[in-house]
């Protein structure tokens, strides 16, 4: 799960999918990163931690890190929150195999629409809840598509 800062959108996407795969006992490794390095080592934004908590998820323990080229080797699927993140990830792709791993996350729930998860950083509670709703829906679809990967 990749956004710009790795403190708002991608930690929530990470926390949602992590819990969903854990609850189903799936053999799936989930992590998140930012394309920028502004918030490396930081906890997620407290407003996103509160939003997660409100819906029964905890992302307090996550820490920001920057996307690295070796993430193309570590992960089978790389989800970008918006088109700018997508473009920044694709700039680091080394070959077609890397490129094929990357997708806009909302294309899971809204196929081929190329919708973006809006950055809530300068928004209020309404914007944070909107991000939760979009990512909850998308991670439900992702979970359904990987539910055969049992431990």
Catalytic residue among 3, 45, 49, 71: 3
**121 forms part of the interface with ligand 4NP (CB under 6 A):** yes
Spatial strand order of the sheet with 102-104 comes to 33-34, 2-3, 78-80, 102-104
Nearest residue (CB) to ligand 4NP, 45 versus 108 = 45
β-bridge partners, 78? 102
Nearest to 146 by CA among 1, 58, 22, 13: 22
Binding string to ligand 4NP for residues 20 to 49, with x set by CB under 6 A, is what?
Answer: --------------x---x-----------
β-bridge partners, 102? 78
- Residues that are catalytic: 3, 9, 119
Interacting residues toward ligand 4NP by CB under 6 A: 3-9, 34, 38, 119, 121
């Amino acid at each position: 799960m990749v956004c710009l800062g790795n403190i708002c959108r991608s930690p929530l996407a990470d926390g949602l999918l992590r819990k969903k795969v854990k609850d189903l006992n799936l053999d799936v490794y989930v992590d998140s990163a930012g394309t920028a390095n502004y918030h490396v080592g930081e906890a997620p934004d407290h407003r996103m931690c509160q939003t997660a908590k409100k819906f029964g998820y905890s992302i307090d323990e996550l820490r920001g890190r920057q996307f690295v080229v070796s993430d193309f080797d570590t992960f089978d699927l790389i989800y970008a929150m918006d088109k700018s993140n997508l473009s920044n990830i694709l700039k680091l792709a080394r070959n077609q195999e890397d490129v094929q791993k990357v997708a806009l996350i909302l294309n899971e729930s809204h196929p081929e629409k190329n919708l973006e998860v809006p950055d809530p950083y300068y928004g209020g509670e309404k914007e944070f809840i909107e991000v939760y709703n979009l990512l909850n829906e998308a991670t439900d679809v992702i979970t359904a598509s990987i539910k055969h990967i049992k431990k």
